[in-house]
Amino acid sequence: MRLKSKVAIITGAGRGIGLAGAQAFVREGAKVIIAEVDEAAGRNAEATLRAAGGDVTFVPTDCSDSASVQSLMARTEELYGGLHVLYNNASVFLNKLDGQVTDLAEDTWAKVLAINLHSIFLCCKYGIPLMVKSGGGAVINTGSSASVMGVPGCDAYTATKGATVALTRSMAVEYGKQGIRVNCICPAGIATEMVKASSLDDPDFDADYFFKRAPLGRLGEPEEVAKLAVFLASDESSYINGSIIRADGGTTVTPIS
Ligand SMILES: NC(=O)c1ccc[n+]([C@@H]2O[C@H](COP(=O)([O-])OP(=O)(O)OC[C@H]3O[C@@H](n4cnc5c(N)ncnc54)[C@H](O)[C@@H]3O)[C@@H](O)[C@H]2O)c1
């Protein structure tokens, strides 16, 4: 019960890493709000976690939309009276649309920036005041391998993940005094729908270059990222602020042989 009595919002918790995070948070005693744009996935996650005894509420949310995020925060306050953990996990990878800058359509660029980056701005802008009122807490942002190395062919995605790391650092400096720690998890090679669509199912993707050189010799599981998120959300990480932590099995520090 490392998160007992904590109220946590997890964006994009209908599936993948976010869903595993919601499951782990519930096991540790948190009250979890699933902020998910996919209604069916959100309802399904809520039902599954409630059946397991979790205090969980699905709030249909498009994290890239200001009104939707403001109503998420209002609903959180109404339901649970406060907020202690904001886990910014939702993102998209627009396979075949994202690409190198000279090939990238302006609307693809705008869409990826809205969903992956503007969403973090909005959730923090409207969520942090509630966290301050609740006595402080933890923000967990989500980067990527693209935050820490040059990943070709997805420059919109890469731009958002680099900015997420930079924003994590400046927010850690800004909000530390108010009792809010801001950290960032950079996953890579985690077995989810995003990785399937962006890489594994793509005949043009060089899996040898990327995943097969993973020092651990396998993909990661969403639950392995969720354990790190629990730690960063809990008081066990009380002196960790502004950290960028890779959850990638060492893939991004492996020299190319
Ligand atoms: N899987 C990996 O190996 C990997 C690697 C690097 C980074 N990441 C990052 O980890 C996070 C989770 O990735 P995943 O693999 O679980 O992805 P996923 O595609 O399986 O899940 C993402 C979830 O976010 C939701 N979502 C998308 N747009 C949304 C919006 N506007 N508002 C609310 N919810 C929205 C989706 O509906 C989905 O449920 C993402 O930030 C991703 O960039 C994952």
Q: What is the phi/psi pair of residue 127, to 5°?
A: -95, -35
Distance between CA atoms of residues 132 and 84, nearest Å? 9
pLDDT band at 207 (very low <50, low <70, confident <90, very high): confident
* Burial tier of 102 (Cβ tally within 10 Å: 0-12, 13-18, 19+): exposed
pLDDT digits (tens, 9 = 90+) for 92-122: 999 999 999 999 999 999 999 999 999 999 9
pLDDT for res 125: 99
130 within ligand 1 shell (Cβ under 6 A): no
Q: Which atom of ligand 1 is nearest to the CA of 222?
A: 16
Q: Among 91, 165, 251, which residue has the most ligand 1 atoms within 8 Å of its CB, making it the best to mutate?
A: 91
* Protein residue with its CA nearest to atom 7 in ligand 1: 144
Give mean pLDDT, residues 177-181: 98
Give mean pLDDT, residues 121-131: 99
pLDDT digits (tens, 9 = 90+) for 16-55: 999 999 999 999 999 999 999 999 999 999 999 999 999 9
**pTM (predicted TM-score):** 0.97
Active-site residue numbers? 157
* Model confidence at 181: pLDDT above 70: yes
pLDDT band at 247 (very low <50, low <70, confident <90, very high): very high
* Model confidence at 166: pLDDT above 70: yes
CATH code for the structural domain at 7-249: 3.40.50.720
Distance between CA atoms of residues 128 and 111, nearest Å? 24
117 within ligand 1 shell (Cβ under 6 A): no
